[in-house]
Amino acid sequence: MSELRERSDAELLALHVDGDPDAFGELFGRHRDRLWAVALRTMGNPEDAADGLQEGMIAAFRRAGSFRGDAAVTTWLHRVVVNSCLDRLRAMKVRRAEPLPDDLEERADRGALVSATDVELDPAQLTVADERRRMVLAALRTLTPDQRAALVLVDMEGYSVAEAAEMLDVAEGTVKSRCFRGRAKLAPLLGVLAPTGGDVPHAGNPPETADVPTTGPPRGPPADRA
CATH number, domain containing residue 206: 1.10.10.10
Distances (CA, A) of 175 to 17, 62, 132, 185: 32, 28, 26, 15
Q: What CATH number does residue 82 fall under?
A: 1.10.1740.10
The CA distance from 44 to 40, in Å, is 6
**151 falls within a domain:** yes
Q: Could you tell me if 140 and 87 lie in one domain?
A: no
Q: How confident is the model at residue 95 (pLDDT cuts 50, 70, 90)?
A: very low
The per-residue DSSP string of 57-81 comes to HHHHHHHGGG--SSS-HHHHHHHHH
Going by C-beta distance under 8 Å and a sequence separation of 6 or more, which residues neighbour residue 22?
1, 4
**What is the model's pLDDT at position 108?**
36
**169 falls within a domain:** yes
Distances (CA, A) of 31 to 25, 77, 104, 112, 151: 10, 9, 20, 11, 20
Pick the more confident residue, 133 or 221: 133
Distance in Å from the first CA to the final CA of the chain: 28
Q: Could you tell me if 88 and 121 lie in one domain?
A: no
The CA distance from 56 to 4, in Å, is 22
Parent domain of 41: 1-93+108-113
**What is the model's pLDDT at position 134?**
77
Looking at the 3D structure of the chain, how many domains does it have?
A: 2
**69 falls within a domain:** yes
Q: Could you tell me if 85 and 130 lie in one domain?
A: no
**What is the model's pLDDT at position 132?**
75
**What is the model's pLDDT at position 2?**
67
